């Protein structure tokens, strides 16, 4: 892909990202500065709505009644985000989940951004999201023989999602 000046755009690696999550827990703002291993389903989609009209044009042997189908854009939707990180002794994400679970979801909606960096460490793409609240919390299974890091996962419902850069 080339830019207007004819230069090639740099392809960005999926492994060079930072996710900022700003929570309002306990009356104050708190930024979750965690190393997330994975962030899935940053997706926005739009369904097509089919409009079928009967026209006065000739259709087959009939002198009128040709059907014409037009597709128009429908309602846009944002998928839920799934964040995964190594399980720590921090209770921040769990406390957020329990506040929302107790019915205080509107008071604890979060904002955040996913930034993707180039090889030199400069931000090249950023996706902002608003109105996020946790709808699922889980941890990976445990096994006495395992040497893997325990994983904490949080699925967020998101109201708005935009590409800012």
Domains of the chain: 17-43+79-163 (2.30.110.20), 47-75 (no CATH)
Weakest mean pLDDT among 5-9, 74-78, 117-121 = 5-9
Mean pLDDT computed over every residue of the chain: 83
Enter the pTM of the model: 0.74
Give me the phi and psi of 123, to 5 degrees please. -65, 125
- The reported pLDDT for the residue numbered 6 is 62
Greater model confidence, 24 or 108: 108
Q: Given a cut of 70, is residue 34 above it in pLDDT?
A: no
**Interval 104-157: pLDDT, tens:** 888 888 888 888 888 888 888 888 888 999 999 999 888 899 898 899 999 999
Weakest mean pLDDT among 9-18, 59-68, 87-96, 151-160 = 9-18
CB-based contact 116:124 (threshold 8 Å): yes
CB-based contact 158:80 (threshold 8 Å): yes
């Amino acid at each position: 892909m080339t830019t207007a000046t004819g230069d090639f755009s740099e392809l960005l690696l999926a492994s060079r990202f930072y996710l900022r999550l700003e929570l309002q827990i306990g009356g104050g703002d708190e930024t979750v500065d965690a190393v997330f291993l994975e962030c899935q389903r940053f997706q926005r989609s739009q369904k097509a709505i089919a409009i079928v009209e009967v026209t006065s044009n000739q259709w087959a042997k009939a002198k009128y009644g040709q059907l014409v189908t037009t597709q128009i854009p429908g309602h846009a939707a944002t998928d839920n985000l799934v964040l995964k990180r190594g399980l720590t002794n921090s209770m921040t994400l769990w406390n957020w989940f329990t506040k929302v679970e107790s019915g205080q979801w509107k008071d604890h909606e979060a904002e955040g951004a996913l930034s993707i960096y180039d090889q030199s460490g400069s931000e090249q793409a950023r996706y902002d999201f608003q109105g996020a609240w946790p709808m699922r919390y889980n941890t990976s299974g445990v096994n006495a023989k395992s040497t893997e890091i325990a994983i904490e996962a949080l699925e967020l419902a998101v109201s708005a999602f935009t590409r800012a850069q």
